[in-house]
Amino acid sequence: MPEPEELQAHLSQRYGIRVQAMLTLDQDVTLLRRSDGPNWVARVFSAERSPAAAEGDAEILRWLATTGFPAERCAHEEPVSVLDGRAVLVTEAVRSVPLAQRRKTLKDAGGLRRLGGLLAALSKLDPPSGAARRSGGAWHHATDGTPAAELALVGEWLEEAEAEASARDLGVYSSLQDELDLVDDGQGLPEAFVHPDFVLANVVATPEPGMVVVDWAGAGVGPRLWPLAFLLWAEGAKDPRRAALVLSGYRSEVQLTPEEVDRLAAMMRARPLIFGIWHLRQRNKAAAVVLAEARETQRLAEMLAQRVKERIEE
């Protein structure tokens, strides 16, 4: 990640803007408070992610703007630049309500039912040729492309971590590989335009009130169940009733096929396990902890998937 001073100087020189202050929002995501115009957000991608991929993100944002979908917007007609070999994408900062008002604002905007409906509406859009038709769904911190590509890379991460593991932990790594082999990447299921990380963390509560979805890196065409599975897990882990609200909103727009319902539990297990192995690779978690979490995720995923099936069969 470039130093803040480097990023500020780069953007000021390229776009002729005056940056008054900078605030870190997330990993490699910075809010630029400007003294000469609307605030911007700068997303700095890894050196492994090509500028062409970031250009694709910008193209997708321009297309989403034409559809009226509530997504962040490009901040400039040429929003992608390169700093020290890393692509930088600038978007308009979405005006948000104060943190203390976020929960009420989201509720007034329709809450989780509305969020599920937005995800379904996104899957019904007809993407034009170009970047919107690229393979998508993978977590961009890992790779671009399909969920299958993401899982393949995570398998490599697990092998790398196992190569450095002590002999007493090899059994745990073998069990983690078994867990990884059991998750579902969605191949063969209905496809649609998808956002790789369609969860509340990427929703800005706006004063209207409303919801604006951000962080479209890696969006493209992939299994439509993939983002829904992650959203159901993310909310169901807090309270299964929250997942029910998401499902209600989604089903108001889109009906799942029997095969999607059958494969939902295995797909819900995917992204939490991916995150766990990523933390293992970063040495933030022990293998035994990741395995215990994966088994708890399995229990939760099976319970949530069964509730989904029961709701659909009512």
Reported as a single tens digit per residue, the pLDDT across 68-98 is 999 999 999 999 999 999 999 999 999 999 9
3-state secondary structure of 213: strand
Query: Roughly what angle, to the nearest 10 degrees, separates helices 270-281 and 170-182?
Result: 150
pLDDT of 141: 85
313 has pLDDT over 90:
no
What pLDDT digit, counting tens, does each position of 148-205 carry? 999 999 999 999 999 998 999 999 999 999 999 999 999 999 999 999 999 999 999 9
Q: How large a percentage of the chain has pLDDT more than 90?
A: 92
Backbone angles phi, psi at 4, to 5 degrees: -55, -40
Q: How far is CA 7 from CA 140, 161, 214, 253, 314, in A?
A: 21, 33, 21, 42, 54
- Grade residue 303 by pLDDT with cuts at 50, 70 and 90: very high
1 has pLDDT over 80:
no
**DSSP tally for the chain: helices H, then strands E:** 11, 9
3-state secondary structure of 246: helix
pLDDT of 2: 82
Cβ(61)–Cβ(78) under 8 Å?
no
With 0-12 / 13-18 / 19 or more C-beta atoms within 10 angstroms meaning exposed / middle / buried, residue 246 is buried
Task: Give the predicted TM-score (pTM) of the model.
Answer: 0.95
pLDDT of 117: 98
Q: What is the residue type of 106?
A: L
- β partners of residue 71: 213
314 has pLDDT over 80:
no
For residues 22-38, average pLDDT: 93
- Grade residue 208 by pLDDT with cuts at 50, 70 and 90: confident
- β partners of residue 80: 89
Nearest to 44 by CA among 32, 35, 34, 36: 32
Q: Which residues contact 298 (CB under 8 A, 6 or more apart)?
A: 179, 265, 269
257 has pLDDT over 90:
yes
3-state secondary structure of 14: helix
- β partners of residue 211: 205
Backbone angles phi, psi at 165, to 5 degrees: -80, 155
For residues 32-40, average pLDDT: 95
What is the DSSP-derived secondary structure letter of residue 135?
A: B
For residues 250-260, average pLDDT: 96
Q: Which two tokens stand for residue 3?
A: 């130093």
Rounded to the nearest integer, the mean pLDDT of the chain is 95
288 has pLDDT over 90:
yes
User: 272-275: long-range contacts (C-beta < 8 A, 24 or more apart)?
Assistant: 272/233, 272/297, 273/154, 273/179, 273/180, 273/183, 273/297, 274/139, 274/142, 274/150, 274/151, 274/154
Q: What is the CA radius of gyration of the chain?
A: 20
Q: Which two tokens stand for residue 141?
A: 């911190």
What pLDDT digit, counting tens, does each position of 43-61 carry? 999 999 999 999 999 999 9
Distance CA 271, CA 266 (A): 10
Nearest to 11 by CA among 79, 74, 85: 79
- All domains in the chain, ordered by first residue: 4-92 (3.30.200.20), 99-313 (3.90.1200.10)
According to DSSP, the β-strands at 210-213 and 86-92 are unpaired
For residues 122-135, average pLDDT: 97
